[in-house]
Amino acid sequence: MKTFDAVVASAERFVLGEGPVWDAARRRLLWVDIEDGAVLIGRLDGDSVQVDQRLDFDGTVGAVAVDADGQLLVAAQRELVRIELDGSRSPVVGHIADDEPRRLNDGKTDPAGRFLIGSCPKAERMNDEWLKRLELDGTVTTIDSDVGLSNGLAWSCDGSRFYSIDSFRHVVWVRDYDPATGAVGERSKFVRIEDGYPDGMCSDAEDHLWIAVYGRGEVRRYSPEGNLVAVVRVAALQTTSVAFAGSGRDILVITTASRGLTPEELIEYPDSGRIFTARVDVQSAEVSPWVPVSSD
């Protein structure tokens, strides 16, 4: 099994960094600080990440996606919001999260450019969180409605296998997926991670998954058969998500969190909340931009 060490990439520390996205067309990196209610936009400088812009929201921010022209889709606390090139904002879907104590969490575009978004409980865990998909015509489809905490999403290179994480159940699910029609098959367990919480993930060009394991300070690489084949060690206990970035799509960007750590843990992990990067000798799979909802 291969082992890699991540390096600190950002000077800034974030409360709950999440959801990195590489916008190749504009050579910029986007991610969110969920509990600080911000979308961050930055750039890679070698293995370092420099913050160029911050977009603030009232409440939490779960995820961000970018379309081919550079417009953003932001999962705010309860609704999906479009940010146009001039900075103007408008709701894409109003109040996709209902009045129950939950918020929007991790999200990602599928191979056809549809946006999938999951929910996170803000109170008692009831295993009634959901995973939904914003269709190209603006309607919303519910894929799962019995999730403990919906988190990372990924697809195989050909789009035929769809992976999703339920962090509270410690499970990565897999199912058949048809990018052309959006048809989704029955889910089955791909891998269970008991010694930490599987959080965000991405796939690479060899159809392996890279999964951030919250509470372990690791990113783990799994083969298509579910075998653990590599580990990236991160000097931050709460690793939250991953994405490949850079002109070669070969720099693994890792977000982490600083929230909830004890004073002793902060002494042991002083870089908690920073962005990390790692060179892991593989490129990412192709990532599709978000396709804005049709106005027809």
Q: Which residues pair with 191 in a beta bridge?
A: 172
Largest CA distance in the chain: 56
DSSP 263: H
List C-alpha distances in Å: 185 to 144, 160, 173, 288.
11, 10, 11, 21
* 213 membership: H or E segment, kind and range: strand 209-214
Long-range contacts of 124-128 (CB under 8 A, 24+ apart): 125/149, 125/168, 127/168, 127/169
Distance of CA 126 to the CA centre of its chain: 23
The question of whether 69 is a catalytic residue gets the answer no
Radius of gyration over every alpha carbon of the chain, rounded to an integer in angstroms:
17
Distance CA 227, CA 209 (A): 10
Which one of 166, 199, 204, 271 is the catalytic residue? 199
Q: Which residues pair with 76 in a beta bridge?
A: 61
Residue positions counted in the chain: 296
DSSP 181: T
Which two structure tokens, joined as six digits, stand for 242? 């991953």
The residues that are catalytic are 199
